[in-house]
């Protein structure tokens, strides 16, 4: 074994340029592939993060005006929904996951000397889950007791919290909304949101809808949000919600303007398909790059075999076994592949570590070598090393000593 | 030397049979290149006894090298039988033939066939390396061999730094490394001047006197006469087999 390694080192040393070129090819290939995968991964999780900003597969419904005359009632009749309607839907809508009403208004917020005008949403406890409003550490979202007892508690968007409190920890602080004192119970974690319907969550205040109604006397909801128990059921659920409300408010159940819906699962589905296609594309490019690299190595090894034919012939004449010669060439390519591949992966790791410094995270995400990508690259490298080593090795071992020596 | 134990045990174990190291019957070799067939050997019958020295002569293209390559298991015959120490070589795998070349045959070539990028020492060490002999034993054996061919002071030189005669000595040392049954030399003096050619021939004669079996191809009638037996080949057939 020691001999083999020593011989290997000697052989590769005597072929400096060629070895260097092979290594370079392998390093280049691996770096390209793993970087591609790493950036693909980073971009994917960044896109997924922004996409989840609204919540997963949320449907938002706005009561609006009818567009079809129904049972003697004219069109353009205004539909208004209240908590009872939400309760009805909660009990009757088929395939419903969770639902929450949302009341909205602009309030005056006071904290010490600071006075701001903010958008306030009065929501139910489920709203947080539905809309993916994750509380930062040490804080919480509105819970059922807050709702039941009409507590004056508020959950703040992270940017607004920063604006109001600066370095002070917001949780436990008292602010005034329309003059009434509210205790801060939670702050939103920093999140990326690339779509919204009433401004970004990070600038809003969320309070229990019961408290909201008590303060404003509002009776009708601004909108309601809900999810299906299963993303596949979303379309049917929307129809069912419309049907229940049509019966309740006496409008045509096919009148889809009476309540307008925004189904975010549409874009989620598109997003999933897109990401899958994107990953397949990246993978295909990666594989091709590596295959091209492999062909390069194979070619180089072929030249090496050709160039060393005489040497191989002499060695076989002296009793070197073809199997040993085959093994030696395989080992040589494998070693080159592994060394080149490792260097390539190290370079990629380096780039992944340095990249966040460039502050491009928001646009392309941070490249990230996942275990899957690393394993895939490693396996590909192994296979390519083996295949590209095998054919030249076989050529070498199949030579007749007499023929080979005459070269 | 204690190494002799290792190498001689093999000799004792294999020197049985009728005393013929080489036994060829109706050996032919046809080269096929494209549509052209060249009958290089047309039926060779040859027996070589243990400890004999044979000079093979003949005009260029008569098939001498072809015969030598077959005897040395570097090539396989088209037909006919070849017994090496009573054992048939036909039908052996490439791996087994490599083993035979390693242990039983010492080949010396006209153009030396030394590897230029490694030292004389490493060149001689190669057959021992392929046989799997441990490092220390290899070392002792290589020293012994360089001593034998009188080149102990040139071991660390690259072949390119040696004269033709010296290169052929290194090649001879390499051929002797595994203490083979037969020593085959294909025009070993062909690339040497008269005096170093004569020296190499002296070396072969010494080896023969020590009891080895030696086959030498040569164009030089004077050198051929130094062997006790001369075989002449013409057009792929043995035309004369005589002893002096
Ligand atoms: N690899 C080969 N392919 C085709 N024909 C060959 C091959 N090797 C040898 N021959 C032919 O076989 C015949 C015998 O060749 P060989 O080399 O045995 O002759 P030789 O007696 O050694 O000649 P020389 O004295 O010139 O070395 C020649 O006609 C040669 O052209
Ligand atoms: Mg010849």
Are residues A394 and A326 in contact, defined by beta-carbon separation less than 8 angstroms? Answer: yes
In this predicted structure, what is the pLDDT of residue A302? 78
In this predicted structure, what is the pLDDT of residue B9? 43
Q: How many CB pairs under 8 A join A and B?
A: 59
In this predicted structure, what is the pLDDT of residue A151? 94
- Compute, in degrees rounded to 10, the torsion defined by CA atoms B16, B21, B26, B29: 130
Residue A40 — pLDDT band, cuts 50, 70, 90? Answer: confident
Residue with tokens 């070269």: A407
In this predicted structure, what is the pLDDT of residue B5? 47
How does B175-200 read in b/e, with b if 16+ C-beta sit within 10 Å? bbbbbbbbbbbbbbbbbbeeebbbbb
3 state DSSP class of B42:
strand
Radius of gyration of the CA atoms of chain A, in A = 33
In this predicted structure, what is the pLDDT of residue A11? 67
Q: Where are the domains of chain A?
A: 2-51+269-405, 65-95+229-257, 99-227
Q: Which of B38, B218, B236 to mutate to test the pocket of ligand 1 (most atoms within 8 A of CB)?
A: B38
Distances (CA, A) of A300 to A294, A295, A338, A399, B108: 10, 9, 16, 18, 32
Nearest to A206 by CA among A134, A121, A136: A121
3 state DSSP class of B157:
coil
Per DSSP, B115 falls in state -
What average pLDDT does this structure show over A234-241? 90
The ipTM value here is 0.90
Length of chain A: 407
Count Cα neighbours of B216 within 13 Å in the Cβ-side half-sphere.
Answer: 32
Cα–ligand 2 centroid distance for B239 (angstroms): 17
The residue contributing the CA closest to ligand 1 atom 14 is B63
Query: How far out from the chain centre does Cα A209 lie?
Result: 32
Name A120's Cβ contacts closer than 8 Å, sequence gap at least 6.
A104, A105, A106, A107, A177, A204, A205, A206, A207, A212
Distances (CA, A) of A104 to A16, A219, B10, B90: 73, 11, 101, 97
* Ligand 1 atom index nearest CA of B219: 25
What average pLDDT does this structure show over B222-233? 93
**For residues A399 and A302, what is the distance between their CA atoms, to the nearest angstrom?**
13
Length of chain B: 244
The set of protein residues with a Cβ atom below 6 angstroms from ligand 1 is B 31, 33, 38, 40, 58, 60-66
Geometric angle at alpha carbon A297, from A295 and A298, rounded to 5°: 60
Residue A14 — pLDDT band, cuts 50, 70, 90? Answer: low
Nearest Cα residue in chain B from A326? B95
Distances (CA, A) of A4 to A86, A149, A257, B97, B132: 78, 80, 79, 22, 12
Q: Which of B61, B191, B217 to mutate to test the pocket of ligand 1 (most atoms within 8 A of CB)?
A: B61
Q: Count CB atoms within 10 A of the CB of residue B157.
A: 16
Interface test with A, best of B31, B41, B69, B94 (most A CBs within 10 A): B94
The residue contributing the CA closest to ligand 1 atom 7 is B31
Distances (CA, A) of A401 to A315, A318, B101: 8, 9, 11
In this predicted structure, what is the pLDDT of residue B232? 96
* Ligand 1 atom index nearest CA of B64: 21
Nearest Cα residue in chain B from A14? B117
Taken in order of first residue, the domains within chain B and their CATH numbers are 49-76+92-241 (3.40.50.300)
H, E, C per residue of chain A: CHHHHHHHHHHHHHCHHHHHHHHHHHHHHHHHHHHHHHHHHHHHHHHHHHHHHHCCCCEEEEECECCCCECCECCCCECCCCHHHHHHHHHHCCCEEEEEEEEEEEEEEEECCEEEEEEEEEECCHHHHHCCCCECCCCCCCCHHHHHCCCCEEEECHHHHHHHHCCCCCCCCEEEECCEEEEEEEEECCCCCCCCCCCCHHHCEEEEHHHHHHHHCCCCCCEEEEEECCHHHHHHHHHHHHHHHHHHHCCCCCCCCCEEEEECHHHHHHHHHHHHHHHHHHHHHHHHHHHHHHHHHHHHHHHHHHHCHHHHHHHHHCCCCHHHHHHHHHHHHHHHHHHHHHHHHHHHHHHHHHHHHHCCHHHHCCCCCCHHHHHHHHHHHHHHHHHHHHHHHHHHHHCCHHHHHCC
Are residues B236 and B41 in contact, defined by beta-carbon separation less than 8 angstroms? Answer: yes
Residue with tokens 């996942």: A370
Nearest to A170 by CA among A212, A147, A159: A159
Min Cα distance B73 → chain A (Å) is 8
Count Cα neighbours of B182 within 13 Å in the Cβ-side half-sphere.
Answer: 29
Q: Count CB atoms within 10 A of the CB of residue A48.
A: 14
Query: Cβ contact (<8 Å) for B130 and A405?
Result: no
Report CA torsion sign: A260, A263, A264, A270. Answer: negative
Report CA torsion sign: B196, B142, B99, B48. Answer: positive
Which residues in chain B have Cβ-Cβ distances shorter than 8 Å to A322? 94-95, 98
Task: Say whether pLDDT at A55 is over 60.
Answer: yes
Distances (CA, A) of B219 to A216, A322, B191, B200: 121, 34, 12, 15
Burial class (CB in 10 A: 0-12, 13-18, 19+), A284: exposed
Which residues in chain A have Cβ-Cβ distances shorter than 8 Å to B99? 319, 321
In this predicted structure, what is the pLDDT of residue A343? 87
In this predicted structure, what is the pLDDT of residue A85? 92
Are residues A67 and A73 in contact, defined by beta-carbon separation less than 8 angstroms? Answer: no
Residue B103, both tokens: 């242990």
Nearest Cα residue in chain A from B113? A314
Q: At what angle do helices A265-307 and A322-354 cross, to 10 degrees?
A: 140
Which residues in chain B have Cβ-Cβ distances shorter than 8 Å to A321? 95, 98-99, 130
Interface test with B, best of A15, A304, A319, A405 (most B CBs within 10 A): A319
Query: Cβ contact (<8 Å) for A317 and B101?
Result: yes
Residue A54 — pLDDT band, cuts 50, 70, 90? Answer: low
In this predicted structure, what is the pLDDT of residue A382? 76
pLDDT one-digit tens code per residue, B100-137: 999 999 999 999 999 998 999 999 999 999 999 999 99
Are residues A82 and A219 in contact, defined by beta-carbon separation less than 8 angstroms? Answer: yes
Query: Cβ contact (<8 Å) for B130 and A317?
Result: no
A400 touches chain B (CB under 8 A): yes
Residue A29 — pLDDT band, cuts 50, 70, 90? Answer: confident
**Looking only at Cα atoms, what is the longest distance across chain B?**
55
Nearest to A223 by CA among A154, A121, A98: A121
pLDDT one-digit tens code per residue, A124-155: 999 988 888 888 888 899 999 999 999 999 99
Q: Count CB atoms within 10 A of the CB of residue A83.
A: 17
How many helical (H) and strand (E) elements, i.e. helices and strands, does chain B have?
8, 10
> φ and ψ at A329, to 5 degrees?
-70, -40
Nearest to A383 by CA among A300, A322, A293: A293
Distances (CA, A) of A350 to A24, A35, A140: 17, 10, 38
What average pLDDT does this structure show over A110-131? 90
pLDDT one-digit tens code per residue, B16-70: 446 799 999 999 999 998 899 999 999 999 999 999 999 999 999 999 999 999 9
H or E element, residue B243: strand B237-243
Residue A363 — pLDDT band, cuts 50, 70, 90? Answer: low
């Amino acid at each position: 074994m020691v001999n083999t390694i020593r011989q290997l080192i000697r052989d590769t040393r005597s072929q400096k340029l060629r070895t260097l070129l092979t290594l370079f090819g392998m390093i280049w290939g691996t770096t390209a592939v793993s970087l591609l995968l790493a950036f693909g991964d980073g971009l994917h999780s960044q896109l997924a993060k922004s996409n989840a900003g609204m919540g997963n597969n949320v449907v938002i419904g706005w009561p609006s005006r009818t567009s079809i005359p129904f049972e003697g009632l004219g069109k353009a009749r205004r539909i208004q929904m209240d908590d009872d309607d939400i309760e009805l839907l909660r009990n009757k809508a088929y395939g419903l996951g969770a639902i929450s009403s949302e009341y909205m208004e602009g309030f005056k917020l006071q904290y010490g000397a600071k006075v701001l005008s903010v958008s306030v949403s009065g929501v139910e406890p489920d709203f947080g889950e539905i809309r993916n409003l994750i509380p930062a550490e040490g804080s919480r979202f509105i819970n059922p007791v807050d709702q039941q007892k009409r507590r004056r508690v508020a959950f703040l968007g992270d940017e607004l919290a920063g604006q109001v409190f600066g370095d002070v920890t917001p949780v436990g602080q008292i602010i005034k909304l329309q003059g009434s004192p509210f205790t801060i119970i939670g702050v939103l974690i920093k999140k990326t949101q690339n779509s919204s319907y009433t401004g970004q969550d990070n600038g809003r205040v969320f309070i229990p809808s019961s408290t909201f109604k008590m303060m404003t006397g509002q009776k009708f909801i601004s909108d309601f949000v809900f999810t299906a128990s299963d993303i596949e059921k979303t379309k049917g659920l929307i129809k069912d919600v419309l049907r229940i409300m049509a019966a309740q408010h006496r409008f045509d159940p096919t009148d889809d303007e009476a309540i307008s819906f925004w189904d975010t699962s549409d874009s989620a589905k598109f997003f999933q398909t897109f990401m899958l296609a994107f990953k397949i594309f990246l993978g295909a490019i990666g594989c091709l790059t590596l295959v091209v690299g492999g062909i390069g190595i194979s070619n180089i090894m072929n030249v090496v075999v050709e160039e060393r034919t005489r040497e191989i012939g002499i060695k076989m004449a002296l009793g070197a076994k073809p199997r040993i010669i085959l093994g030696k060439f395989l080992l040589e390519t494998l070693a080159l592949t592994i060394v080149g591949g490792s260097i390539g992966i190290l370079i990629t790791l380096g780039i992944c570590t340095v990249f966040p410094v460039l502050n491009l995270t928001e646009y392309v995400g941070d490249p990230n070598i996942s275990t899957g990508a690393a394993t895939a690259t490693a396996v590909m490298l192994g296979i390519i090393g083996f295949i590209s080593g095998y054919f030249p090795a076989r050529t070498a071992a199949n030579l007749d000593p007499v023929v080979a020596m005459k070269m | 030397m204690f190494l002799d134990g290792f190498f001689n045990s093999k000799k004792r174990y294999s020197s049985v049979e009728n005393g013929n190291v080489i036994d060829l019957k109706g050996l032919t070799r046809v080269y096929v290149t494209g549509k052209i067939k060249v009958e290089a050997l047309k039926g060779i019958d040859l027996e070589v006894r243990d400890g004999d020295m044979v000079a093979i002569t003949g005009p260029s293209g008569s098939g001498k090298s072809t015969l030598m390559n077959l005897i040395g298991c570097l090539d396989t015959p088209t037909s006919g039988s070849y017994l090496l120490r009573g054992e048939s070589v036909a039908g052996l795998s490439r791996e087994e033939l490599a083993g035979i070349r390693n242990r039983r045959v010492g080949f010396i070539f006209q153009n030396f066939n030394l590897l230029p990028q490694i030292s004389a020492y490493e060149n001689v060490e190669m057959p021992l390396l392929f046989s799997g002999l441990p490092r220390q034993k290899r070392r002792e054996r290589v020293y012994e061999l360089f001593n034998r061919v009188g080149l102990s002071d040139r071991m660390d030189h690259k072949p390119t730094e040696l004269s033709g005669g010296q290169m052929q000595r290194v090649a001879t040392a390499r051929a002797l490394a595994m203490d083979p049954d037969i020593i085959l030399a294909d025009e070993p003096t062909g690339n040497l001047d008269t005096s170093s050619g004569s020296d190499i021939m002296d070396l072969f004669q010494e080896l023969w006197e020590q009891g080895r079996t030696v086959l030498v191809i040569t164009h030089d009638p004077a050198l051929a006469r130094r062997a006790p037996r001369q075989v002449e080949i013409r057009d792929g057939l043995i035309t004369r087999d005589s002893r002096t």
